[in-house]
Structure 1
């Protein structure tokens, strides 16, 4: 599985640890930055990762900032993307199983390294279950398509 990953300066250290963890577990990883602790505008990274996932270059994406919230908001602006903040095992699992999120976001100032690795593992090993959630995910896509038609 190919994973796109990106972060802001607040999450640089955690991103480096997650990249090593993914590579140790034989995932293909493409790092979209940042590559140091210099301040940046995180929406630029979020959109790069989200576009790469939406275009099919990667199956999944991981974005990390201070809280995970800003990255999720920015990534969700890319059509076809469902990004979810994951701070505990249940949210990581349900992001995939119920919401078919292709991108998980993490908060480097909210969770530690070991929990982050656990959440990444749970999320990567979970698949969309469909069932009662299928109509909900389809409805989200319908609204997205309506807004795209009206505004383009």
Structure 2
């Protein structure tokens, strides 16, 4: 599923640039994605749209989030730390944080890997038509082991 999401992020500037589900399914199949993987990604994206509509403008600018034990188990320490980092950097306001949490909780199994969480964050920005600044994009795309220390 995450490969399909990355493909959509890289090939469609905005969600409204994507064709309807039927045509998109054909295009993704032609590129080589499996039908179950495509369907899972499209269902997840439908949930993303619903979550964005639900959480838009709900929390105040300085709201605090206490994670449930189920969320804590599903995210794990590394992902919770990353969400906290994005919040403290001022790039993940409370409504977006809630969308990220909702969509991460929609991923079966757990805990969610940091790599998958980064894709979820990218897709939340994408779905809202926002682009993270260059430093955050670097954080989301470049693996820590691949960074050069100056």
- TM-score clears 0.5: no
* TM-score range normalised by the length of the shorter chain: under 0.3
Calculate the TM-score normalised by the size of structure 2.
0.27
Higher percent of residues as helix: 2
